[in-house]
A and B are shown apart, each in its own frame.
Chain A
Amino acid sequence: MNQKVRAPWAVMLPALFGAIITLLPLWYLLDQVIRSGWESFSNEIFQDRTARLVVRSFLLTATVTLGSVAIGVFAAWTTTMTAIRGRAVLLILLSVPLAIPSYLAAFAWLSWQPGLSGFRGAALVLTLACYPYVMLPVAAALRRVDPAQIEVARSLGSSSFDVIFRLVLRQVRTAIVGGALLVALYVLSDFGAVAAMRYEVFTWVIYGAYRSGFNPARAASLSMVLVLAAAVLVVLESRVRGRGSMARIGKGLARNIRWKTRVSSAVVSWMIAAVIIAAGVGVPVFSVIDWVQRDSATAVDSGLVFESIVNSFQIGLFTAIAATLIALPIGIGVVRFSSWSTTSIERSTYISHALPGIVVAISLVYAGVRLLRPVYQEIPLLILGQVVLFLPLAVASIRMSIEQSSVRLEEVSRSLGLGQMMTIFKVTIPIALPGIAGGAALVMLATVKELPTTLLLRPTGTETLATSIWKYSTVTDYAAVGPYAVALMLLAAVPTAVLSAITIVKGRAHST
């Protein structure tokens, strides 16, 4: 019922700037395709091997997304809606895979099971890496389900099966679909796991086209297909998301509901969770421990390890700050000044998220040479590349936390004499701070783990944890990888712990 308010320029301009940055890769791709002409483009696209690539990529994306939704929803349900012991510990352990980069997990599995490769290996590793993207938002949403509704449904004669599938899961549909979108985009753009598992999908072939033959036209054409796939996913998501708003009269306290859990089903739940944790966390951790204990062909230089840690940390921190600053106006715009333009800006940030890091990297090199020569092959360009890749993580998190805060508070602030911008700084942002911090942590995590963009955009000679792991893993010098892998897991584990803590605390705030 609120009147549409036009976004002030102070919000609109930075948001627009953010959108333009994230569309840089698209501009590059279009330029490439146009330059090489329609004929060469269609030649690249309409051929058997491209069709095979599409099928393979689709298979992998669909398998991993479905698997992640199944595991993620199960994990969220077990840790929030059941009465089994150790739910909080389970939730934290189940979110640890967020801290493990997919290529590291892939090499860990390969060093244990060398026979595992191709589709099976890639699907397994990616599913284990991705289900937390579904689990965390679904767990948060489940905690907000009104227990009275469940009780009403039960009293109207619905079985618990009905209640779970017709009532509860329908209400957390937004969270499931949103998580599934993140997973699908992640799979489309992942490079490390598929390269390690030698499963030929778009990203790997594009990488090959740039690296070996340096065939930018073919790579750009294939990238365009990926962009299209990402656009379809984004549109699908907003269609399915629909309007799942909750109607609730009065504001009586929401009691915590816990399904009565029989001992047998609690044991089964625990066992399933244990298998997931063993596969997603146990295998990588034990492999890394095993690596550290092996004798290395090359002596480990602790100075180099330390330098990599500092580099990874700095790049992660600056990327998180930059992405948060750019995401803020976009998130505020789409929630508080909802309009055609702010929505398009928000949606556009998702497009580059689906692009393989390699495409983003190359397009920034291209932009760097043309527009940003002073920062070419410097840290700022690398950070810009990471921002382009991971902006949606910050936007989604900020958007969600602003949606949850009441507009009334901002109206009170306006009536007390604070202007639109002052109100944003004094009320909107402070209240959304946990979500903003959560988004920043997600970005930092993703940046520290990120491989292909870092490989291509880093200044010559600069090694991060990710590039070091890659360097030694590709020559199967696992002993040398050990210390870097340990450092990366620890560095990434910190933000993961922050994220899990936020999810849990948020849940508490809603349930007490």
Chain B
Amino acid sequence: MSTPALVVRGVSHSYGDHRVLDDVNLVVEQGSLTAILGPSGEGKTTLLRLISGFEQPDVGEIEIAGRLVASAGNVSIPPEKRGVTIVPQEGSLFPHLTVAGNIAFGLRTHSTTDRKKRVSELLDMIGLSGYENRRPEELSGGMQQRVALARALAPSPDLILLDEPFSALDTSMREQVRDEVMTTLRDAGATAVWVTHDQQEALSTADQVSVLLHGHIAQTTDPVTLYRKPVTREVAEFVGDAVVLRGHVDSGHNTAHCGLGNLSVANDVRAGDVDVLLRPEQLVTAESTSQPHGVGIVTLSRFFGHDGIVVVRLETGELIEMRLHAMNLPQPGDSVSVTVNGAVLAYNCL
């Protein structure tokens, strides 16, 4: 296996007394896209700033393409010598330069012809050929973001860091720009790390997702594993909607007993009292032919058009939320039978 593009080893960072990052570890392979997923204000941006060299870690070290660039106390390679480019949230195009000038900014050592060639290559890649001489303010937000990406790709860096690159865009264009950016990154064979607080964005586009909670990396894995087997209840609830029930696991069994009967457990869990965690899409109303896992009374029904959400009170008194097709959406007071699809997650109670 080739040298990883990025290794973050035991990094901690504080602003004054406030510890923002605590023992962060992360490995990013070359040519992969890694999303750092976490709520706002939990140190995601700080991690990017440490990697790009605008902050120095208090503890730990950072390696880029096999080269030590930061080590608490003694090594601090300046940002311009790290081979790491950044795409800030707002794009931050240089207002005094044209589109071509922006993209060529990091290509100072290239000859004029090489530079021109590279710029038109990149404009082609982001679908903005012919925009060379436009000014940044003449471009839409999405176009600006693509130019900012091209600018970061231009010097073929070892690593590209993107800080919430799509959150400043309108919802209507966010998905489209995101797909374009991700396709461009993949086509260019670039290694990228971006931070986001959008679970869907991380799960749908990244090769690897790293969940950053309270300044600590809770889990780093591929999107499917992350969604199916989150290591803690907090991670599970952060990466997707969840229904939580009280339950119990007997020793020697990998089933949990709860308000919806005996359910098989997907993850490792010790015997004892557990929180049983289900995804709303696992819950369906039972067909008359099969044996339901439980029955309950609908207390709330909300219609969204193509589907709807109903809240059901189980016999244990617990409330569960189900996402159902809008056809024949049960109404409050109706009695429904509930079946669970697939294995559930269980976490030992503290």
Contact = CB atoms under 8 A, between A and B. Distances in A.
Contacts of B222: none
B330 interface: no
Interface stretch (B87-95, B197-205, B211-219, B247-255): B87-95
Contact of A411 (B79, B81, B105, B151): B79
Interface string B141-176: 000000010011011000001000000100000000
A423 B78 CA distance: 13
A265 interface: no
Interface stretch (B3-11, B52-60, B269-277): B52-60
Contacts, number: 73
Given A415-B80, A416-B151, A417-B108, A409 B15 contact: no
B85 interface: yes
A408 B79 contact: no
B195 interface: no
Contact of A430 (B53, B96, B106, B161): B96
Contacts of A420: 78, 80
A243 to B, nearest CB: 17
A27 B72 CA distance: 44
A417 B78 contact: no
B80 to A, nearest CB: 5
Contacts of B154: 416
Nearest to A413: B105
A120 interface: no
Contacts of B15: 1
Given A1-B15, A3-B55, A3-B56, A416 B85 contact: yes
A81 interface: no
A238 to B, nearest CB: 23
B191 to A, nearest CB: 14
Contact of B90 (A251, A413, A418): A251
A211 to B, nearest CB: 50
Q: Chain B interface residue count: which class?
A: 20 to 34
B84 interface: yes
A1 B44 CA distance: 13
A414 interface: yes
A298 B53 CA distance: 71
Contacts of A417: 80-81, 106, 108, 155
A406 interface: yes
Interface in A379-422: 406, 408-409, 411-420, 422
B86 interface: yes
A506 to B, nearest CB: 13
Q: How extensive is the interface on chain A, given as a class?
A: 20 to 34
A471 B46 CA distance: 65
Contacts of B106: 416-418
A408 B90 contact: yes
A162 to B, nearest CB: 33
Give the interface SS of chain A, mostly helix, strand, loop or mixed. Answer: helix
Given A1-B15, A409-B94, A431-B96, A415 B79 contact: yes
A411 B80 contact: no
A419 B108 CA distance: 12
A415 B52 contact: yes
A511 to B, nearest CB: 14
Contacts of B46: 1
B82 to A, nearest CB: 8
A411 B54 contact: yes
Contacts of A427: 94
A460 interface: no
A416 B92 contact: no
A73 B168 CA distance: 36
A411 B52 contact: yes
Nearest to B154: A416
Contacts of B85: 412, 415-416
A414 B155 contact: no
Point out which of A2, A417, A419, A433 has the most chain B C-beta atoms below 10 A from its C-beta. A417
A414 B53 contact: yes
Most chain B CB atoms below 10 A, which of A3, A416, A420? A416
Contacts of A433: 96
Given A3-B56, A416-B155, A411 B94 contact: no
Nearest to B50: A3
A337 to B, nearest CB: 14
B58 to A, nearest CB: 11
Nearest to A416: B106
A400 B86 CA distance: 26
B185 to A, nearest CB: 16
Contacts of B82: 415
A418 B86 contact: no
Contacts of B105: 413, 416, 418, 426
Contacts of B148: 412
A412 B95 contact: no
Nearest to B96: A430
A335 to B, nearest CB: 16
A412 B155 contact: no
A159 to B, nearest CB: 36
7 contacts: A251-B90, A411-B52, A412-B88, A415-B79, A418-B80, A426-B105, A431-B95
Given A411-B54, A423-B80, 13 more contacts: A3-B54, A3-B55, A408-B90, A409-B94, A412-B86, A412-B148, A414-B54, A414-B78, A415-B52, A416-B152, A417-B155, A418-B80, A430-B96
Interface of B: 15, 46, 52-56, 78-82, 84-86, 88, 90, 92, 94-96, 105-106, 108, 148, 151-152, 154-155, 161, 168
Q: Which 5 A-B pairs have the closest CB atoms?
A: A416-B106, A414-B79, A408-B92, A430-B96, A415-B86
Interface of A: 1-3, 251, 406, 408-409, 411-420, 422-423, 426-427, 430-431, 433
